[in-house]
Amino acid sequence: MTSDAPPLPLPGPRYARFSRRFKAVLLDWMLAMALLFGALAVASNVASDGLSRSLGVAVVVILLLYEPVLVWRAGGTLGHIWTNLRIVDDRGGNLSFARALARFAVKSILGWYSFVILAATRRNQAVHDLLTHSTVQIRDPAKATPGQFITERREDDPAMPSRLRRLLVTVVYLALSVLFYFGVLAVLVRAGLMSRACLNQDICNGSDRIVDTAAAVAFLLMIALVIGMGWRGRLIGARRA
């Protein structure tokens, strides 16, 4: 006999997957571009240097304070709100303004590299989350689908290697990944797909920039995969016999 009763809700917080967080970042980026282009359009049509400078300063201040203020007051940017996400302090509630500002600063400095450790953390945290003791969670679980979040990962497998062993193996694989990346760049130069000036001096034409960006994205994904698999003990050398 089958039951039509709805499934029981999953226990604990729902931590956002990278795909959901990427969508929020993309929406915020689109808002920033709209603001910049709007300000440029206004400045180009206003015959006043003073007003143009004031507008430029205002745009910079808005872009710098947009995320920290909204994370502090609303638990997330407009991108987070529109994608049903919320940034939560480990102690509960929203981050303080100081920690929201620190979180934004770390994320701005590290860029996408801040996200490479997501799969190695129990709560899908990036570097800027860990350093500010915060997590990105589903704002309204009733509106979320299972593919948008994870629950807290547990390390209760008795066959899991020690943390030291996983760390050492992961570092070795990361070093090999860096060597592989530079090897790929050398091959691209020899094949004529990227100029030597782009590789050595960052003087790139359009096609060079496309190839360089594609290689950098692939390298970033490889690093994220190595860190995730290494910390879970799934790399050769990290597994117990």
How do residues 140-173 score in pLDDT, each as one tens digit?
999 999 999 999 988 666 667 888 888 899 999 9
pTM over 0.95? The answer is no
* Predicted local distance difference test score (pLDDT) of residue 39: 86
Q: What is the C-alpha end-to-end distance of the chain, expressed in Å?
A: 44
Q: Are strands 134-138 and 85-89 parallel, antiparallel or unpaired?
A: antiparallel
Which strands sit side by side in the sheet containing 134-138, from one edge to the other? 85-89, 134-138, 15-16, 149-150
pLDDT in tens, 174-207: 999 999 999 999 999 999 999 989 988 888 888 9
At 239, is the pLDDT very low, low, confident or very high (cuts 50, 70, 90)? low
Listed in sequence order, the DSSP H helices in the chain are: 18-44, 49-74, 78-82, 97-110, 127-131, 163-190, 196-201, 206-231
